[in-house]
Structure 1
Amino acid sequence: MKIDFIDVDSAISHAKQLLETERDISPALKSVLEVILFLITVLLNRVTLNSKNSSKPPASDPNRKKSNRKQSDKHSSRQKSHVGTTVQKIDDSDEIEIITIDRRSLPKGQHTEDCFETCQVFDINISRVETE
């Protein structure tokens, strides 16, 4: 990786090679320098993380910069003049599809029959009629 036109990876590897070849350094100093090089590597890897190469999404990243925006007094849902409706389930469907599960494909002893789930899909036919 490069930071300000400095190839950091090659500089760290060069410093490690110099530590290995140097004979006049005490073992304590050598271990301290190795720890410092390791910390530099870890911190640089952390600095170069972004949302594309990080395992955490930006919203859950504790080190992200917080927004300076203040919370608004406005309600974030619908417009006040809009009256919404919810599509209700109907009792007599045109088509009922029961999905069967091959119980042999499930792991033995690791499943229980708990409940069932229903779902209704409403198809809306949108057409365009052009008269001349």
Structure 2
Amino acid sequence: MDGLRSVCRSTGLVRALGMDLRELRVAMSVVPGLFVLVWVLLAYPAIGDASAAFAIGVGVLTGVVRQASARPPSYSGPLVASPMGAIPPGLFSQPIRGFDLLILCLAPVLLGLSPKWALIIPSFIIAIMFAVRPKQA
């Protein structure tokens, strides 16, 4: 996902590759998607439910892609004082980015909803994730 992070932060690299940023995000998510698929297939006996395994796999993939394709924090604004020194405010939201999509995908499983919702909600999230054009730095 480091390649996706580099592409999302460099307008010149996107132009050099000759594709739209959305298309690059989809193309660069294929290999991590295959790794997630292998992991889900290996973890399926422990999970025990196909819809829950699907929700976990989609949640992991969308969270990783969102984290990797995020804009960098802005260091140009005011800083927040902390015991460790001054910190840019955007740096606080970096660890949460991506985790929010994982929680949304896992919500039907965690709340004990029917397996139908554990398929519908993650499918909707991954469709929106790869349909919307990401913002560039």
TM category, shorter: under 0.3
The normalised TM-score by structure 2 is 0.24
Greater Rg by CA: 1
Greater share of helix residues, 1 or 2? 2
